[in-house]
A and B are shown apart, each in its own frame.
Chain A
Amino acid sequence: MKKFDFQLAGDTGIHFYPKGSNKSYIENLLSCLREKGPKGIIDLIPSLSNLLVVFDPTNITLEALIQYIDKLEIDEYNNKKKYPSSWEIPICYDEKYGLDLQFISDNCNLSIDEVIETHQKQIYQVSMMGFLPGLPFLTELDSKLKMPRRSNPRNLVPSGSVGIAINQSVIYPQNSPGGWNLVGRTPINIFDQRKKEAILLSIGDYISFKKIIREEFEDVYKKNKISPVRIKKINHND
């Protein structure tokens, strides 16, 4: 019996759904196909419920693709795979950048300091990327901060803004309209299309936020215009 269910997305796409509650299946299948996927796979689009594999049928048939994935020893492979990167991302929770701190505080019955502390102490994992190039969906937000998206999305959320909604936090990689509740902003560029490695983060990466004051933010921000700031990698494998 197959370890997955699937649904077709036309003749060049197929969604693989894990069976049962095998949560890490999607992430493991993704890294497996990324590293040693067969010729003919064009794109991989993971989400919380499934993995969409886009393929070129002139290079690999649907049947061959399904058979290939069925034969993969994904769990075994997972044990050997590289440990995901961990990043410490500076964030300024000044109300100049955390435009919704007051609103979140009122909504969640916490003081602004408690909101900041609750958001900052959590270690997050990049569970999905999308909406904008390089935008990470970070799980899991402390349930004390659980609230819906803004009913009136902003027309312009500045690049680097950090927002929260439901059980997730996000970092905006570029200026964009957006409806997340803003807690602060990072001076780091997580997306720079001029670079070869344009997108800093990957699915599975761990993120922790390091609180910085407004002066530090502005200092880093200015320097960042000249050369990108090296982000300290942390290790919480222990």
Chain B
Amino acid sequence: MTDIQKDPFLRVVSGGQTTSLQDKGRFGFQDKGVPPSGVLNQNAMKIVNKLVGNNIEEAVLEIFLSGPILEVNAKNALVSLIGSNSSSIEIINRNVKIRPGRSIKVFEKDIIKINSGNENLISLFSISGGFNVTKVLGSKSTNPSVIMGGFKGGFLEDNMNLPLNNNIHKYHESLIPKFKSHDQVKIFRVIIGPHVDKFSNDEINKFLSTSWKVTKDINRMGIKLTGNKINSIAGRDMLSDGNQIGSIQITLSGEPILLLPDRGTIGGYPKIATIISSDLELIPSLNIGQKIRFESINIDEAKKINIEFERKTNKILSSIIKI
């Protein structure tokens, strides 16, 4: 118990582009207009937490594009990162660098630089004990567009202090899982709909046969794609309805926007297709300019894929070992 220190925190030396605190999300309030937020890659969140000995649903830092530099103000802690193959945690003052998917012990006044690499949109960073933040509507997730949750409702800013929980976990020196990083799949499997009646078969086929490009218009609300124009018979007067994470809405100009966890709970554009839940985990591995395609499957196929995906995740979680 000598490791316990009063009010430990991480000082933000540099906030990076858009880093925020996220957990699995704020569910149960969408009927009142509260977007769920939370991480897209729920299973990666579980793994990165397990790597530092945390409860698998503890809140983590989501690094969207470039990463922050943090100064440790705690006696010690275990940290870990899940990101692309070129991402890393660098302890600048000790000239140490570790790959994603393993943990490392850090000490008082260590300077941690999170390199998100250039292949991934999103990486996740965990620290043993987790962040000491009050939950808002049951979640620590940040929604910067409505200034809610996390650290003052926003992204990490220079010189902010991120309060940590006293690290009472009895962690190991370092942990690694026995797995390779997932395949670089650029094909997203979708279920057509919900607004099947707003698109002709030709338009749906065009949507499925187009090679789409990820544009620079990216944030936690959505990702704009370019590559073709999809025509819909829905006009300006379409009644707004519920938005699902992973749905692809078609704007009036015919361009698709992939809806992410901070999107409004309802929207007035027709949604042509919805990415299946296990493929949401692939969204963080996208990057600007990348080509992606959509492949239509049915609900039964989606179920099988999800069961297999859960099985793999559980296998990784149970394989995490000391080194």
Residues of A in contact with B (beta carbons under 8 Å apart): 7-13, 15, 30, 34, 42-52, 54, 57-58, 62, 128-135, 174, 176, 193, 198-199, 201-203
Contact = CB atoms under 8 A, between A and B. Distances in A.
A65 B277 CA distance: 17
B142 to A, nearest CB: 12
A135 B137 CA distance: 16
Given A10-B244, A133-B148, A174-B147, A45 B266 contact: yes
Interface residues of B, number: 43
A131 B33 contact: yes
A49 B234 CA distance: 14
B265 A13 contact: no
30 contacts: A7-B193, A8-B191, A9-B194, A9-B242, A10-B191, A10-B247, A10-B302, A11-B276, A12-B277, A15-B241, A15-B242, A42-B27, A43-B36, A46-B31, A47-B242, A51-B242, A54-B30, A54-B244, A57-B303, A128-B240, A130-B33, A132-B264, A133-B32, A133-B34, A133-B35, A133-B146, A134-B32, A134-B34, A176-B146, A193-B148
Given A7-B195, A193-B137, A45 B303 contact: no
Interface in B1-46: 27-36
B74 interface: no
Interface of B: 27-36, 136-137, 146-149, 190-191, 193-196, 239-244, 246-247, 264-266, 271, 274-277, 299, 302-303, 306, 310
Given A11-B191, A13-B274, 14 more contacts: A9-B247, A10-B246, A11-B277, A11-B302, A13-B194, A15-B241, A49-B239, A50-B241, A58-B310, A129-B31, A130-B33, A130-B265, A134-B32, A199-B29
B244 A13 contact: yes
Given A11-B276, A52-B244, A133 B29 contact: yes
A236 to B, nearest CB: 23
Given A9-B242, A47-B266, A49-B239, A129 B28 contact: no
Contacts of B191: 8, 10-11
Contacts, number: 135
B265 A45 contact: yes
Given A9-B242, A130-B240, A43 B31 contact: yes
Contact of A7 (B148, B194, B246): B194
B306 A57 contact: yes
Nearest to B149: A193
B34 to A, nearest CB: 4
Nearest to B277: A12
A161 to B, nearest CB: 16
Contacts of B28: 42-43
Contacts of A54: 27, 30, 244
Given A42-B28, A45-B243, A199-B32, A11 B299 contact: yes
Contacts of B193: 7-9
A49 B242 CA distance: 10
Nearest to B147: A174
A1 B243 CA distance: 28
A34 B32 CA distance: 13
Contacts of A8: 191, 193-194, 274, 299
Contacts of B29: 43, 133, 199
Contacts of B35: 133
A58 B242 CA distance: 22
Nearest to B247: A9
Contact of B266 (A10, A58, A131, A134): A131
A9 B271 contact: yes
Contact of A11 (B243, B264, B306): B306
A202 B34 CA distance: 12
A58 B277 CA distance: 12
B33 A133 contact: yes
Q: Which of A8, A132, A176 has the most CB of B within 10 A?
A: A8
Contact of B276 (A10, A47, A58, A198): A10
A215 B21 CA distance: 42
Contacts of A47: 239-242, 266
Contacts of B277: 10-12, 57
Contacts of A129: 31-33, 265
Contacts of A13: 194, 242, 244, 274
A42 to B, nearest CB: 5
A130 B264 contact: yes
A197 B261 CA distance: 22
Nearest to B190: A10
Nearest to A200: B32
A134 B239 contact: no
